[in-house]
Amino acid sequence: MSTEKILIIGSQGQIGLELAEALRNNYGHDNVVCADVKDVENPVGPYEKLDAMDRQGMYEVIKKHGVSQVYLLAALLSATAEQKPKLAWDLNMEGLFNVLDAAKEGMIKKVYWPSSIAVFGPTTPRVNTPQYTVMEPNTIYGISKQAGERYCEYYHQKYGVDVRSIRYPGLIGHKSAPGGGTTDYAVHIYHEALKNKSYECFLSEDTTLPMMYMPDALKATIQLMESSADKVKIRSSYNIAGISFSPKEIADEIRKHIPEFSITYKPDFRQAIANCWPGSIDDTRAREDWGWHNDFDLSAMTKDMLDNLK
């Protein structure tokens, strides 16, 4: 029997929906409480309606369920954050402060908080971006993630908070839809390829970005959270790498399965965001510290996505 009680805040988003399923398999159905600002009719397990910015509401949920670990996934992603900068800053930071303070006060034992490749910026080396390098993010999302990383490390060093984090690349999965990111095209493209045999991409054909298939991202997240504390040497956030590809390369891969698939390019404001992000990531530290490795490359992911979406 698991002694852990896990709370996922932002459980109805792209990662939350899949992570809840994976954690419920590992820890038992009733030991994972899902929470989100959305109303959910007939939730499949314990569910609480919760705004991550509502500190008192969050603490009541933590106490009510005897929560020991929080995964804080509620956030505005890069593209939406540029449209709503004030809300993005408030949500991305307040939610984190509320959870870090809960850990500092001893209400919970462990915190997971996702960072992103958006912490890097135009002055960062783009190829094999190192763990430690120049970081001058120029999007609200990236600025909030970088500030969040600094707070995580500070709370760990100053108050002993056991907080763990990964800098996610663009995530691709077939079970849940992405919302408001610059890397979302790499999910939409599969849906459109099957439905319409064509796709208009909002990034240019040669925009290479770091990406990852959802099973790899879930594996990394749970592996990091289950590692013994002494192995987690970085308390800001870990680089992890999966696959790097451009819209042209993913389209070529899809064409191996759907030969008539065609792609056109109409870059919009998201192109400027993508231009300032890395093309590939050096994840040596995650590999060395807690044994991370990815399983899926572009061709295995494409086959699996198309098989499942069909």
Residues that bind ligand AKB (CB under 6 A): 77-78, 116-118, 141, 168-170, 181-183
Distance between CA 258 and CA 310 in Å, rounded?
12
Do residues 285 and 232 lie in contact, with contact meaning Cβ atoms separated by under 8 Å? no
Calculate the CA dihedral of residues 18, 177, 110, 89 and round it to 10 degrees.
-170
Q: Which is nearer to ligand AKB, 87 or 107 (CB)?
A: 87
Do residues 214 and 172 lie in contact, with contact meaning Cβ atoms separated by under 8 Å? yes
- Classify residue 30 by its DSSP letter: G
Q: How far is the CB of 80 from ligand AKB (least distance, A)?
A: 8
Q: How far is the CB of 198 from ligand AKB (least distance, A)?
A: 23
What spatial distance separates the first Cα and last Cα of the chain, rounded to whole Å?
37
Q: Which runs of E-coded beta strand occur in the chain?
A: 6-9, 32-36, 47-49, 69-72, 110-112, 115-116, 163-164, 166-168, 170-172, 198-201, 209-213, 238-239, 243-245, 262-265
Q: Which of 75, 68, 86, 150 is nearest to 114 (CA)?
A: 75
Residue nearest to ligand AKB (CB): 181
What backbone phi and psi angles, to 5 degrees, belong to 282?
-95, 115
Q: How far is the CB of 141 from ligand AKB (least distance, A)?
A: 6
Q: How far is the CB of 26 from ligand AKB (least distance, A)?
A: 24
Q: Which of 141, 83, 126 is nearest to 278 (CA)?
A: 126
Catalytic residue positions? 141
Q: Which is nearer to ligand AKB, 33 or 274 (CB)?
A: 274
Q: Which is nearer to ligand AKB, 116 or 146 (CB)?
A: 116
Do residues 304 and 243 lie in contact, with contact meaning Cβ atoms separated by under 8 Å? no
Q: How far is the CB of 177 from ligand AKB (least distance, A)?
A: 12
Q: How far is the CB of 200 from ligand AKB (least distance, A)?
A: 18
Strand pairing of 209-213 and 170-172? parallel
HSE on the CB side for 260, CA within 13 Å?
A: 5
Q: Which is nearer to ligand AKB, 46 or 181 (CB)?
A: 181
HSE on the CB side for 132, CA within 13 Å?
A: 4
Q: Which is nearer to ligand AKB, 170 or 279 (CB)?
A: 170
Strand pairing of 170-172 and 32-36? unpaired
Q: Which is nearer to ligand AKB, 148 or 169 (CB)?
A: 169
